[in-house]
C-alpha cells in the first residue's frame, strides 16, 4: 500500500532517481544518480536526507559505482568495493543507517567470495532493492504500532522530517500520522520549522499538507508556547542513531523539545527502524555529531541573515538522553524504559 503520490527513491533496475529535497517546497523534481560519486554528493549536500533514505541511496550508489567495474578482474573489483564503501560511509557521520546499509552490501559480496563479478553485481543489485522493500514494510509497521498512542483529535508535535521524504514510503514518526489518517482518525500536527535547514517547514509541512493531514507550522522557539496552551498531547520524532542504552541522536533541537515535553508531562516517542539501533554505541556520548557549514546559519536562499564572518557553531544533531524518552517504537514493536534491544 502506498501513502503518497511521490516516491523519494526510484530505482527501475537500471537508473536511480531521487527527489531533490533542496528544491522543495517550490519544486518537485528528480535528480539522476549514476554512480557512487553522485550518491555521495547527493547525501553530503542533503539533496537526499533522512537516515533511512541516505542508507538506501548509498546502497544503490555502491551498486551503480561498481557496475562501472563489471569488466575488471575479481581482485580489482573487490578492492573497488572496499574503497567505494569507505567513501560512501564518510558522506555523513551521524545516521548509522548509512553505514548499516553499506556494510550489508559488502557482507553480501563477502559471503560469496568465489562468485563471478557479474554474479556479485546481481547480488548487490538485489540486496539494495531488498533494503528498500524492507524499509517500506518497516515504515508501515511502525505506523501501525503508533496507533496505540494516537487518539482522535490529538495534537502531536514533531521535529525535522521523518516522513515519506526521509524513507521509502510512510516515514517513521510520520508513518503514524499517515496510518491514523487512513483509519479516519483526526489529528492536529504541529511541525517545528527546524532551523537551520528547515526540514519541518520545507518538507514535513509540504508532505502532510499534500496528504490532507491537518498540519500547523511553528517556529522552533514556539514549542513551549503550544505545549503550555494545551495544544500538544504527544511528541513524536525520528532518530539517526539509537545507542544501546536508549540515548538517541536526532536533528538538532530534538533534545530541547524532549526537555519541554518532560516539563509539561507530555509523552515523548522516538520512532525508528531497527537499523537505527547501534548496539556498538554504548551511550549518546559515543555518537559522532556532524557539524555543518556556517553558510546554513548565516544566509538563506542567498540572502545574508547575520553579519559576515560571525563565529558560527552548527551541529546538525543532538542527543536526547534516554531518561527523557517515554517509548521507542520500531517495526518489531514498542520498547519502554529501561531500554534493552535484544
Ligand atoms: O539532517 P537530516 O535532514 O538528514 O536529519 C534527519 C533527521 O534528523 C530525521 O529526524 C531522522 O533522520 C529520522 S528520518 C526517518
Residue environment code for 147-158, b if the CB has 16+ CB neighbours within 10 A, otherwise e: eebbeeebbbbb
| Sheet with strand 215-218: strands edge to edge | 215-218, 187-192, 154-158, 234-237, 268-271, 327-330, 333-335
Global model pTM greater than 0.95: yes
261: preceding bond cis by omega (within 30 degrees): no
Q: Which three cell numbers stand for residue 230?
A: 494545551
Q: CB count, 10 Å around CB of 136?
A: 19
Residue 95 Cα to ligand 1 midpoint, Å, equals 8
Is the CB of 52 within 6 Å of ligand 1?
yes
| Residue 49 DSSP symbol | -
Choose the residue to mutate in 239, 274, 316 for probing ligand 1, maximizing ligand atoms within 8 Å of C-beta.
239
Q: What φ, ψ does residue 334 adopt, rounded to 5°?
A: -105, 135
| Residue 50, marked binder | yes
Confidence (pLDDT) at 24: 98
Per-residue pLDDT tens digits for 180-196: 999 999 999 999 999 99
Residues with catalytic roles: 240
Per-residue pLDDT tens digits for 278-332: 999 999 999 999 999 999 999 998 999 999 899 999 999 999 999 999 999 999 9
Confidence (pLDDT) at 317: 99
Confidence (pLDDT) at 2: 52
Choose the residue to mutate in 251, 293, 329 for probing ligand 1, maximizing ligand atoms within 8 Å of C-beta.
251
What contacts 198, CB < 8 A, 6 or more positions away? none
Q: Which three cell numbers stand for residue 79?
A: 578492492
Confidence (pLDDT) at 5: 81
Q: Say how many Å lie between the first and final Cα of the chain, rounded.
A: 29
Q: Is 310 exposed, middle or buried (0-12, 13-18, 19+ CB in 10 A)?
A: exposed
Residue 26 Cα to ligand 1 midpoint, Å, equals 20
Is the CB of 271 within 6 Å of ligand 1?
no
Q: CB count, 10 Å around CB of 259?
A: 16
Closest CA to 229 of 218, 239, 240: 218
Confidence (pLDDT) at 3: 58
Residue environment code for 96-128, b if the CB has 16+ CB neighbours within 10 A, otherwise e: bbbbbbbebbbebbeeeeeeebeebbebbbebb
From first to last of its 342 residues, what are the pLDDT tens digits of the chain? 455 689 999 999 999 999 999 999 999 999 999 999 999 999 999 999 999 999 999 999 999 999 999 999 999 999 999 999 999 999 999 999 999 999 999 999 999 999 999 999 999 999 999 999 999 999 999 999 999 999 999 999 999 999 999 999 999 999 999 999 999 999 999 999 999 999 999 999 999 999 999 999 999 999 999 999 999 999 999 999 999 999 999 999 999 999 999 999 999 999 999 999 999 999 999 999 999 999 999 999 899 999 989 999 999 999 999 999 999 999 999 999 999 998
Q: Which domains does the chain have, with CATH numbers?
A: 9-140 (1.20.120.420), 145-335 (3.40.50.10470)
Amino acid at each position: 500500500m502506498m501513502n503518497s503520490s511521490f516516491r523519494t527513491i526510484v530505482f527501475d533496475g537500471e537508473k536511480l532517481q531521487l527527489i531533490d529535497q533542496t528544491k522543495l517546497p517550490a519544486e518537485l523534481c528528480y535528480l539522476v544518480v549514476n554512480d557512487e560519486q553522485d550518491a555521495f554528493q547527493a547525501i553530503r549536500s542533503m539533496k537526499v536526507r533522512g537516515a533511512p533514505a541516505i542508507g538506501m541511496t548509498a546502497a544503490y550508489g555502491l551498486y551503480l559505482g561498481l557496475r562501472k567495474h563489471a569488466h575488471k578482474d575479481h581482485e580489482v573489483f573487490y578492492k573497488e568495493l572496499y574503497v567505494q564503501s569507505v567513501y560512501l560511509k564518510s558522506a555523513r557521520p551521524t545516521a548509522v543507517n548509512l553505514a548499516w546499509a553499506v556494510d550489508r552490501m559488502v557482507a553480501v559480496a563477502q559471503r560469496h567470495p568465489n562468485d563471478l563479478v557479474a554474479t556479485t553485481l546481481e547480488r548487490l543489485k538485489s540486496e539494495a532493492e531488498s533494503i528498500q522493500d524492507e524499509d517500506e514494510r518497516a515504515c508501515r509497521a511502525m505506523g501501525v504500532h503508533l496507533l496505540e498512542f494516537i487518539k482522535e483529535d490529538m495534537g502531536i508535535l514533531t521535529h525535522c522530517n521523518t516522513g515519506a521524504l526521509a524513507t521509502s514510503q510512510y516515514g517513521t514518526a510520520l508513518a503514524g500520522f499517515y496510518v491514523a489518517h487512513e483509519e479516519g482518525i483526526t489529528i492536529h500536527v504541529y511541525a517545528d520549522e527546524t532551523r537551520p535547514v528547515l526540514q519541518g517547514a520545507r518538507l514535513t509541512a509540504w508532505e502532510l499538507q499534500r496528504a490532507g493531514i491537518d498540519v500547523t507550522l511553528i517556529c522552533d522557539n514556539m514549542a513551549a508556547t503550544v505545549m503550555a496552551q494545551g495544544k500538544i498531547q504527544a511528541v513524536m520524532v525520528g532518530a539517526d542513531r539509537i545507542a544501546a542504552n536508549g540515548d538517541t541522536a536526532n536533528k538538532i533541537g530534538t533534545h530541547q523539545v524532549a526537555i519541554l515535553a518532560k516539563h509539561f508531562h507530555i509523552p515523548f516517542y522516538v520512532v525508528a527502524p531497527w537499523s537505527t539501533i547501534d548496539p556498538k554505541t554504548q551511550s549518546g556520548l559515543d555518537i559522532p555529531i556532524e557539524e555543518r557549514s556556517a553558510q546554513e546559519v548565516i544566509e538563506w536562499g542567498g540572502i545574508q541573515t547575520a553579519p559576515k564572518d560571525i563565529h558560527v557553531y552548527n551541529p546538525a544533531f543532538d542527543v536526547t538522553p534516554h531518561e527523557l524518552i517515554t517509548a521507542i517504537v520500531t517495526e518489531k514493536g514498542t520498547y519502554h524504559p529501561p531500554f534493552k534491544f535484544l
